[in-house]
Amino acid sequence: MNRLSVSLPGLELKNPIMPASGCFGFGREYANLYDLSLLGSIMIKATTFETRLGNPTPRVAETSSGMLNAIGLQNPGLQKVLTEELPFLAQYDIPIIANVAGTLTEDYVEVAKHISAAPNVHALELNISCPNVKCGGITFGTDPVVAAELTAAVKEVSSVPVYVKLSPNVTDITTIAKAVEEAGADGITMINTLLGMRVDERTGKPVLANKTGGLSGPSVKPVAIRMVYEVRQAVSIPIIGMGGVASTQDVIDFMSVGADAVAVGTANFVDPFICPTIIEELPDYLDALGVAHISELVGRAHR
Amino acid sequence: MIRQERMQIVRHKQLAENIFELTCIGQLVSEMKEPGQFVHVRVSDSYEPLLRRPISIASIDRETLEFTMIYRADGRGTTLLSRKQVGEELDVLGPLGHGFPLHHDEKGSTVLLVGGGIGVPPLYELSKRLNENGIQTIHVLGFLTESVVFYEEKFRALGETIVCTIDGSRGTKGFVTDAIEVLPANFQTYYACGPTPMLRALQHQMPTIPGFLSFEERMGCGIGACFACVCKTESLPDKEYVKICSDGPVFPAGVISL
């Protein structure tokens, strides 16, 4: 019996661990370090219709137990992802979750239509929560009506299940979660980064060229845990949880509050082998908890 | 191949004001092939500070499996690193990036190596290797002031060495470009590592001489996945940007838009 297997819309995962979008590129770099087939899935870097060069540097700044980034969705564009990146990943036995971004609804729809047809893309992750781009991104994710409309438009053209990535930068995340569920979302991924800022101690000026950036890393975990807990009570579709996951215990915590699977983001930068390490450690954790299958952990906090 | 290893610290000493030399031993050294590559060091087992620190490789001894890095302790991470004791283990990821080319110049030729501050260390392994290949090296090493000068004698043992300081407290007064201005132009190639304004000035000063420049930029992952350290390119028709960590840190002069 595979004690770690997880079944989600479009995704038969051998384990619930996957690198989060934006923290793993298109997998090529980590493929030099370990066999990607070990992973449950990979949430590939956001893909936009056109090539994007992202924001000026510096694009990252360290904070207390966290990191601010303002990469700005740099990616080679839909065509190159379809012809170069996804075929590269096809050599691995792994379902891919393609993160889709855009400026206008039509951009999202166009990318979703084509990328969902790629043979190894098994689900989409709708990026309505990137805080680092002027248009699109978070502007779609903070208004329940707009988020629902976009979800419905993408659902119409996508040939695979659609997960919507929620922003924590809202007053009530459950409102957005419910709106996208009603609009037909097959699942929710959460959370994206928290909008933050750091000033240089010597100059008093912002460190990031973009001035503000998205906060990630262990410092955001309590916020993410609280939000997954709240959203689990508000919707019935699956949740892939993330936000500061850096250890096996963190994975258990996210599943306990209601995540069906868990993504690892910034921790990949600290320890590039963190995903395979967690996957290897999980069975011992299950033994210690007296649990036969990992799914038994999901939602313990609500019982 | 990139490896992650808990390496043992075998030597650690202060060379100059806030400048430290740290030597580690481990199998990872057998993968270190090019001068100019770097390692990504985790300075704490906790999440504070969170990210690894990129530090250039100053010398490699593949026989003893030891390598040395020289760093400046000026932030939280490098200050913590400076407190590490001999015998302790250090989480090292590397070797990372692409270094300086070793076969660009013919045996018997003379090349110029230009370092600025904490950009000096990778030039030491480069100079050793070039000298082993029968290439003569001239070194121009620029520092802020006398108290932060290091490795002067080590470079002198490998070839002509000019040290300059901004305040004139040691060697020639002024920038590396001032020292180069009065050098006889008998070198075929220049290799440089240091702050971006210095690299820009060198490229401007020697537009017709082939050069190889090592860049630095704030990094997240160090392996090319996070897109934090990208730079726009000038002369690559099919590539609008490069990543300093994985495409570099060394690029031929003219490639990066300066």
Is A32 part of any domain?
Answer: yes
Per-residue DSSP letters for B43-68? --SSSSS-S-EEEEEEEEETTTTEEE
Is A84 part of any domain?
Answer: yes
Instruction: Give Cβ neighbours of residue A282 (< 8 Å, ≥ 6 apart).
Output: A3, A4, A15, A17, A248, A251, A294
Is A63 part of any domain?
Answer: no
Residue B235 clears pLDDT 80, i.e. is over it? no
* pLDDT > 70 in chain A, percent: 97
Is A10 part of any domain?
Answer: yes
What is the residue type of B254? Answer: G
**Domain residue limits at A153:** 6-54+71-193+217-302
Interchain contact, B50 vs A59, CB within 8 Å: no
A130 catalytic residue (yes or no): yes
A35-75 pLDDT, tens digit each: 999 999 999 999 999 999 999 999 999 999 999 999 999 99
Which of A30, A54, A66 is opposite residue B225, by nearest beta carbon? A30
B179-196 pLDDT, tens digit each: 999 988 789 999 999 999
Is A234 part of any domain?
Answer: yes
Q: What is the mean pLDDT of chain A?
A: 95
B94-108 pLDDT, tens digit each: 999 999 999 999 999
Confidence of residue A134 (pLDDT cuts 50, 70, 90): low
What is the per-residue pLDDT for B257? 85
Interchain contact, B228 vs A28, CB within 8 Å: no
Q: What is the mean pLDDT of chain B?
A: 95
Contact A132, A67 (CB under 8 A): no
What is the per-residue pLDDT for B199? 97
Residue A132 clears pLDDT 70, i.e. is over it? no
Q: Measured between CB atoms, does B111 come within 8 Å of chain A? A: no
A81-110 pLDDT, tens digit each: 999 999 999 999 999 999 999 988 999 999
Q: What are phi and psi of A178, to 5 degrees?
A: -65, -40
CA–CA separation, B81 and B127 (whole Å) = 26
Chain A residues with CB under 8 Å of B93 CB are 272
Inter-chain CB pairs, A–B, below 8 Å: 102
**Known binding-site positions of B for FAD:** 53-56, 70-72, 77-78
> What ipTM describes this predicted complex?
0.92
Is A243 part of any domain?
Answer: yes
Residue A133 clears pLDDT 70, i.e. is over it? no
Question: What does the angle CA A107 – CA A108 – CA A109 come to, to the nearest 5 degrees?
Answer: 90
Is A201 part of any domain?
Answer: no
What is the per-residue pLDDT for B238? 73
Mutate to test the interface with A, among B43, B227, B229, B256 (most CBs of A within 10 A): B227
- Which strand (E) or helix (H) includes residue A182? helix A173-182
CA–CA separation, A270 and A96 (whole Å) = 23
Domains of chain B by start residue, with CATH: 3-96 (2.40.30.10), 110-214 (3.40.50.80)
Tell me, what CATH number does A251's domain have? 3.20.20.70
Rounded average pLDDT over A265-287: 98
Name the minimum distance, in Å, from the CA of A62 to any CA of chain B: 7
Instruction: Give Cβ neighbours of residue B238 (< 8 Å, ≥ 6 apart).
Output: none
**Known binding-site positions of B for [2Fe-2S] cluster:** 221, 226, 229, 245
A159-213 pLDDT, tens digit each: 999 999 999 999 999 999 999 999 999 999 999 999 999 999 999 999 999 999 9
Rounded average pLDDT over A122-148: 82
Is A205 part of any domain?
Answer: no
Rounded average pLDDT over B213-224: 94
CA–CA separation, A291 and A216 (whole Å) = 30
Interchain contact, B50 vs A58, CB within 8 Å: no
B122-173 pLDDT, tens digit each: 999 999 999 999 999 999 999 999 999 999 999 999 999 999 999 999 999 9
Q: How many domains, in total, are found in chain A?
A: 1
φ/ψ bin of A73: left (φ > 0), alpha (ψ from -120 to 50), beta (otherwise): left
- Report the relative pairing of strands B19-25 and A239-241 from DSSP bridges: unpaired
Interchain contact, A60 vs B223, CB within 8 Å: no
Interchain contact, A54 vs B225, CB within 8 Å: no
